[in-house]
Structure 1
């Protein structure tokens, strides 16, 4: 059986279908009092609290209260649509769905449930989350699957368009507020207040100098231009929804709450990595060690090994991961570094030197160097030409899922607009 610490670490890597977390509800009254009523169906304070705990265990970014309430509302609307269409799921399907979800963290359903219990999440919360997801999936398939048709011409066009994509670069300011202990509610409230009060770039800069614990605080939180692929994927989704000058909702990461302000965005037509792999070192510095001395002696990760000689093996760890698997707090720091650069982080009783060893982009295949060119509707292939060695069925499925997702979002918006919703 894996340790609780290991199970918690595994939870961090799980991809979420809906990113939600939550706000403390003690002030709302009884745990089973209504928080929202949707078409006569009640969402209780207890459900809100449980959803908060569940998604906090998964380290989901975003404004907790807003995202939790939105997700539970969508669950109710989806379940009502399923009932109207005569759709249900069996206990066996839910059990299989729980196992599939847990497998994303390389755990069994029992291990996953045990890890959630350590975070205060009831087994029923995990079960209901999976059951509602399965119901909505069946609603979407039943209503729209027959309407989705992907032609060979659409596949050709998608392959050609993916050959060159805009490399998006962003200019951000950050404000990082540390979380002391387990209760993140006061920090979330503080972050929301800062967002409301810092309407301009100058206002955000002033707040960053006053409240941010990041090294960038002295610069008003200002960061250098960076490729969007340097950031953790979950953070990318938050940043790309912003307009210049806009401030993100609070983003919960391990031991901190973060605000971003988008100062600029640009794109250049160039080969953009489809994925980014990073190699990084975490060096737990011995007590009494001056971090500045270590940084002066280490120009790269290879220089850390002699400095760690004679120390316990776990004090220097070098990890290679795809960016989507890197814990978000580490990913945010690595995004600001070039290979060989480092940052010192306080880790509760000791200092940790975090260094980026290597960042490797894995680009999309270039059709110009393929054995056979990708064809499009504008340039039909000559008779007898073969398609390049790409998985066309995978592209077909990807395009089909994109269409289904768009139809599902539109349908959910229709259900929301027609619902009778009462907030308590």
Structure 2
């Protein structure tokens, strides 16, 4: 299920559909087959409501245009059934979103594609997606989001203890360790909107197996072969921006897509445990980044691995970079909050003297050989903490749990029939 209000686009829909270029004959055959069995024939009944073949075709095409996963015929039928359940439930209490709210949502969607709403709709229509399909997609999301907030908002009480637990874990003062899985999807500018759409679908993963399957398909990190699974990690080793997000999750839940340079990251929390000794916090982390032309080409990767095999500490990189422009090597010591998120994520997996070649720069054209030099323990933990932001994150996660549980209940009580 998509989270209400999480929508994305891109500068041109033509770019979104690069993977679909040349598929016109296949699409025409698909639509021709559907017309033969009747565009407006029902494919599913949800109590007194129906889902038509036309709606299925349109949603499939819409997801194809966005380049989003979850666009198989069966998945789309199930999603449209859920849309009927959401709409029926909200309509019973008169909670259907107003036309102005829907229009605002559509404009926001188009704005993320850097297009005015009219141009975005025209581009969709050129790809075979009607304005009504787009409008219905946005309308159901907004209606359900507002209904869940109105129905369950008063039942979500975030206590100081909840926030304190998240803060203590985020600062490392409680000795918490987390077991997480990661997905890092490269997102150079031409593919940014397509990747965002993929990430929003992945964020709805409901099991570890499903998230791991997505990791094997889409992730660019070394952990993809293990389904994105990482070992137990002290919470204090992770980037500060990530700590409260993880501690607001329950086991099996997934963060919203997290933009990082030229990529989008998602994390699934698998477990949390408290250790006997509090983990230290760090005032600074020293690292070095050596830049190699060629991106993730075999030649660049081979050179990076060769260099990594010859060096034991960050000082050794000065000899590697000798005679090259100063920009070929960066070395510095920064507070954890000032380190770019993608670099901080990789550094959290390293011990001093270890290297990573997972990152790129210059839209993927430059490979980064990253080495952790060392971590400086903090003498104090007096930090500016946004308690309101942490509380809001916990609230959103709990509201989403109410939403999922209610949908399961509605599906169990409804008379749902999927026609052969």
The TM-score normalised by the length of structure 1 is 0.53
When residues 368 and 78 of structure 1 are mapped into structure 2, their CA distance, relative to the original with a 3 A threshold, is: farther
Alpha-carbon deviation of 1:251?
Answer: 9.1
Q: Output one character per residue of 1:237-260: Cα deviation in whole Å (capped at 9) or x when no partner.
A: 58883449x98389987xxxxx98
Q: In the alignment, is the contact (CA less than 8 A) between 2:68 and 2:201 conserved in 1?
A: no
Task: Give me the whole-angstrom Cα distance separating, in 2, the residues matched to 1:239 and 1:131.
Answer: 22
Q: Which residue of 2 aligns with 1:7?
A: 12
Q: Which residue of 2 aligns with 1:135?
A: 143
**2:122 aligned to which of 114, 137, 158:** 114
When residues 294 and 49 of structure 1 are mapped into structure 2, their CA distance, relative to the original with a 3 A threshold, is: same
Q: Which residue of 1 aligns with 2:409?
A: 414
Q: Which residue of 2 aligns with 1:268?
A: 233
When residues 416 and 5 of structure 1 are mapped into structure 2, their CA distance, relative to the original with a 3 A threshold, is: closer
Q: 1:5-154 residue pairs with structure 2 within 5 A?
A: 6-8=11-13, 27=33, 29-62=37-70, 64-154=72-162
Task: Give me the whole-angstrom Cα distance separating, in 1, the residues matched to 2:62 and 2:393.
Answer: 29
Q: 1:5-404 residue pairs with structure 2 within 5 A?
A: 6-8=11-13, 27=33, 29-62=37-70, 64-164=72-172, 166=177, 168=179, 237=203, 241-243=207-209, 248=213, 262=227, 266-270=231-235, 271-273=237-239, 274=242, 277-278=260-261, 338-339=356-357, 355-357=366-368, 369-371=380-382, 388-404=383-399
Q: Output one character per residue of 1:14-62: Cα deviation in whole Å (capped at 9) or x when no partner.
A: xxxxxxxx99575552121111110121111111111112122222223
SS in 2 for 1:248: helix
Task: Give me the whole-angstrom Cα distance separating, in 2, the residues matched to 1:157 and 1:145.
Answer: 21
Q: In the alignment, is the contact (CA less than 8 A) between 1:166 and 1:269 conserved in 2?
A: yes
SS in 2 for 1:339: strand
Q: Output one character per residue of 1:120-174: Cα deviation in whole Å (capped at 9) or x when no partner.
A: 21111111111111211232123212222222222112211233464646699xx
Task: Give me the whole-angstrom Cα distance separating, in 2, the residues matched to 1:61 and 1:156.
Answer: 37
**Number of aligned positions between the proteins:** 285
Q: In the alignment, is the contact (CA less than 8 A) between 2:39 and 2:53 conserved in 1?
A: yes
SS in 2 for 1:30: coil
Task: Give me the whole-angstrom Cα distance separating, in 2, the residues matched to 1:38 and 1:27.
Answer: 24
When residues 159 and 341 of structure 1 are mapped into structure 2, their CA distance, relative to the original with a 3 A threshold, is: closer
Consecutive unaligned residues in structure 2, runs of 5 or more: 1-8, 18-26, 184-197, 219-223, 243-257, 264-290, 308-316, 326-339, 343-354
When residues 148 and 168 of structure 1 are mapped into structure 2, their CA distance, relative to the original with a 3 A threshold, is: closer
Alpha-carbon deviation of 1:81?
Answer: 0.7
Consecutive unaligned residues in structure 1, runs of 5 or more: 13-21, 173-231, 254-258, 286-290, 307-320, 324-336, 343-351, 372-387
Task: Give me the whole-angstrom Cα distance separating, in 1, the residues matched to 2:170 and 2:101.
Answer: 37
Alpha-carbon deviation of 1:409?
Answer: 1.1
Q: Which residue of 2 aligns with 1:201?
A: none
Q: Output one character per residue of 1:364-399: Cα deviation in whole Å (capped at 9) or x when no partner.
A: xx997432xxxxxxxxxxxxxxxx522221122222
Task: Give me the whole-angstrom Cα distance separating, in 1, the residues matched to 2:207 and 2:112.
Answer: 27
Task: Give me the whole-angstrom Cα distance separating, in 2, the residues matched to 1:34 and 1:88.
Answer: 24
Task: Give me the whole-angstrom Cα distance separating, in 1, the residues matched to 2:238 and 2:226.
Answer: 24
When residues 85 and 122 of structure 1 are mapped into structure 2, their CA distance, relative to the original with a 3 A threshold, is: same
RMSD: 4.9
SS in 2 for 1:266: coil
Task: Give me the whole-angstrom Cα distance separating, in 1, the residues matched to 2:86 and 2:178.
Answer: 36
Q: Output one character per residue of 1:51-74: Cα deviation in whole Å (capped at 9) or x when no partner.
A: 112122222223623432222111
Q: In the alignment, is the contact (CA less than 8 A) between 2:202 and 2:214 conserved in 1?
A: no
Alpha-carbon deviation of 1:108?
Answer: 2.7
Q: Output one character per residue of 1:298-338: Cα deviation in whole Å (capped at 9) or x when no partner.
A: 889x9xx99xxxxxxxxxxxxxx977xxxxxxxxxxxxx94
Q: In the alignment, is the contact (CA less than 8 A) between 1:61 and 1:252 conserved in 2?
A: no
When residues 297 and 10 of structure 1 are mapped into structure 2, their CA distance, relative to the original with a 3 A threshold, is: same
Alpha-carbon deviation of 1:416?
Answer: 0.6
Q: In the alignment, is the contact (CA less than 8 A) between 1:50 and 1:122 conserved in 2?
A: yes
Q: In the alignment, is the contact (CA less than 8 A) between 2:293 and 2:367 conserved in 1?
A: no
SS in 2 for 1:36: strand
When residues 322 and 129 of structure 1 are mapped into structure 2, their CA distance, relative to the original with a 3 A threshold, is: farther
